[in-house]
A and B are shown apart, each in its own frame.
Chain A
Amino acid sequence: MMAFYVFAAIAVVASLLVIAQRNPIYSVLLLIASFGALSGLYVLLDAPFVAVIQIIVYAGAIMVLFLFVVMLLNAPHEDTDYDERVHPLLRPGPMRLGAVLAAALAVELWWALTRTGDSGRFPAGAVASVRAIGRSLFTDYAFPFEVTSILILVAMVGAVLLARREGRG
């Protein structure tokens, strides 16, 4: 119980800070913290494989890619003069429409959180093991699996091609 609240709090706070930070490097690091908390939530949901894959793929690979790009571009702040003085979340656009939407969201959340009623308890003992997932991945879902590998190949080739400097004949 406590573990859920701790992980959920970390995930939400870290995500809020991600969109509130000016410096992209801090945003990336906070997002890694959020992913760590989500990984903990997956462990609570009896999905250890997904939890570890989340750390390996998201926190360990995708975020390293983001970090590399941020360091390579070396553009730590949003760059017009106006942006330097006012915090991103306090500019006119977000303040007007955003405040309305945030209020609507808060009302909806309060409504959702107070209606716990028949809330769907998790059935005990019906857990898919890693072995079962692997088997199903290679039998029922074999076609999407192979297509995914081609997708990654296409993405790799595309990323290398798009990021090349022009004039390399």
Chain B
Amino acid sequence: MVPLNYYLVLSAMLFAIGTAGVFVRRNLITILLSVEIMLNAVNLTFVAFGRALGSGDGQIIVFFVMTVAAAEAAVGLAIVIGLFRHRESLNPDSWTVLKW
């Protein structure tokens, strides 16, 4: 069995990759995908600690995180669709001015 630290390091790497994606990419959908990567990294940490402490709470929190991630992805994508209809662009730099 691999020690707990390995899972934590993997989770940290995935979280860093997700954060880099949010900062670097200029495409709304890729930004949302990077947020999903971050949420998954956190899920991995929860499950690893849940196993290490022998409790089922880790898995239950993951259940809730997944549900919230689904809701947030749905609403986020609806917003992206609405934005795209107005400006025909998925680049966040198109909306730096607060007027249509």
Chain A interfacial positions (CB closer than 8 Å to B) = 1, 4, 8, 11-12, 15-16, 18-19, 21, 24, 27-28, 31, 34-35, 38, 41-42, 44-47, 49-50, 53-54, 57-58, 61-62, 65-66, 69-70, 72-73, 75, 78-80, 83, 88-89, 93-94, 98, 101-102, 105, 109, 112-113, 115-116, 119-123, 126-128, 132-133, 136-137, 141, 144, 148, 151-152, 154-156, 158-163, 165
Contacts and interface: CB of A to CB of B under 8 A. Distances in A.
B31 to A, nearest CB: 10
30 contacts: A4-B2, A11-B10, A11-B14, A15-B18, A19-B30, A19-B34, A28-B33, A34-B37, A45-B48, A45-B51, A47-B58, A58-B69, A66-B77, A73-B90, A80-B93, A83-B91, A105-B16, A112-B5, A119-B4, A122-B1, A128-B50, A151-B71, A155-B72, A155-B74, A155-B75, A158-B74, A158-B75, A159-B75, A160-B78, A162-B75
A116 B73 contact: no
A28 B9 CA distance: 24
* Chain A residues touching B, majority SS: helix
Interface size, B (range): 35 or more
A9 B23 CA distance: 23
Contact of B7 (A45, A65, A158): A45
